[in-house]
Amino acid sequence: MKDLLLENLAFTLNGRLWIESTNDRFLGIGRLELLEKIDAYGSISKAAQAMGMSYKKAWDLVSSMNAQVRTPLVMTQAGGKKGGGAALTVEGKQVVEMFRGMQARFQQFMEQEADLLKA
Amino acid sequence: MKDLLLENLAFTLNGRLWIESTNDRFLGIGRLELLEKIDAYGSISKAAQAMGMSYKKAWDLVSSMNAQVRTPLVMTQAGGKKGGGAALTVEGKQVVEMFRGMQARFQQFMEQEADLLKA
DNA sequence: TTTCGTTATGTATGAAAAAATATAACGTGT
DNA sequence: ACACGTTATATTTTTTCATACATAACGAAA
């Protein structure tokens, strides 16, 4: 065994991955899930509710993301049928797909490293 | 190019990796650096100072780490030559080496993924 | 013109984390 | 006995951050 010290102790490996600009965070696992739920529900408020997050927080996150790219990731409409709604733009969907892949590879990396701990 | 959306925008990929138990964090990049500095200076207070961290915070971190393993990672002495001091145990050095390697591979992973963003 | 559910935005409250402050104990050497 | 620099620990203050609350605007449909 390589690691006598940590074996038998209930340790788990965890981590986070995110894309940031000089000032703000751009995209992490939380924002990714929010985008996915917006895509699923067609609404920021429903997405927020599904995540147990306040509408304001969700809106702030969307606003932050949209402000950091040339083409918004989420387009919104206030008023209209059903009161309004939100949807991912093509660019938004691209970003979701890209980061979902990155996240999957990261998960794989962590599992690999966790195995190494107990090897 | 794979990612037309994010290119030319000053985005960087960042991340964190840590080992945790059910209750507390055990080891991350900050604690690793603290251990390394304790090893270098032979003192918690000097290590804290070198990291721009309060002594109390450094002490708390050491206390947390030591409490989560069978054999302490850091051994301390209050009073004595030079007022006392601290040093890594053999196990402490093992943990440092182990996590430094993990951290290096993580860095490599992130660079690889960052390249993918701009490919 | 009223109702409805949503987006849009500001403000206030509360909780948690971090930092600052204070004090005691310890053991070696003077 | 005293000084010194360190570990050890409690308490208080400050800062940060998340949450809650409150309100307005929007646009379609009844």
- Domain residues for the domain of B85 are 20-118
CATH of the domain at B48: 1.10.10.10
Three-state DSSP state, B43: coil
In which band, very low, low, confident or very high, does the pLDDT at B50 lie, cut at 50, 70 and 90?
very high
Number of domains chain B is built from: 1
Give the CA angle between residues A7, B86, B23 to the nearest 5°: 40
In which band, very low, low, confident or very high, does the pLDDT at B18 lie, cut at 50, 70 and 90?
very high
Distance to chain B for A88, nearest Cα, Å? 14
Q: What is the mean pLDDT of residues B70-95?
A: 94
Does residue A61 lie within any of the structural domains?
Answer: yes
Q: Is B3 an 8 Å CB contact of chain A?
A: yes
Q: Is B9 an 8 Å CB contact of chain A?
A: yes
In which band, very low, low, confident or very high, does the pLDDT at B61 lie, cut at 50, 70 and 90?
very high
Does residue B9 lie within any of the structural domains?
Answer: no
Does residue A9 lie within any of the structural domains?
Answer: no
Does residue A16 lie within any of the structural domains?
Answer: no
Q: Is B13 an 8 Å CB contact of chain A?
A: yes
Nucleotide C3: closest residue by CA–C1': A83
Beta bridge partners of B77: B85
CA dihedral sign, ordered A41, A46, A51, A55? positive
Does residue B114 lie within any of the structural domains?
Answer: yes
Q: What is the pLDDT of residue A3?
A: 62
Q: Element (H or E) spanning A61, and its range?
A: helix A55-67
Q: Indicate the pairing of strand A84-88 with strand A74-78.
A: antiparallel
Read out DSSP for B60-80?
Answer: HHHHHHHHTSSS-SEEEEESS
Amino acid sitting at position A73:
L
Q: What is the pLDDT of residue A102?
A: 97
In whole numbers, what is the pLDDT of chain B averaged over residues?
Answer: 92
Q: What is the pLDDT of residue A1?
A: 57
Does residue B4 lie within any of the structural domains?
Answer: no
Does residue B108 lie within any of the structural domains?
Answer: yes
Partners of residue B15 in chain A, C-beta under 8 Å: 15-18, 106
Q: What are phi and psi of A71, to 5 degrees?
A: -105, 125
> Do A17 and B14 make contact, defined as CB atoms within 8 angstroms?
yes
pLDDT along chain A (119 residues), means of 10: 68 94 91 96 94 93 94 94 94 96 97 89
Task: Tell me which of B16, B19, B89, B95 to substitute to probe the interface with A (most A C-beta atoms closer than 10 Å).
Answer: B19
Q: What is the pLDDT of residue B89?
A: 97
Q: Is B102 an 8 Å CB contact of chain A?
A: yes
Does residue A3 lie within any of the structural domains?
Answer: no
- Of the candidates B104, B75, B35, B71, the one whose C-alpha atom is nearest the C-alpha of residue A8 is B71
CA distance A18 to B12: 8
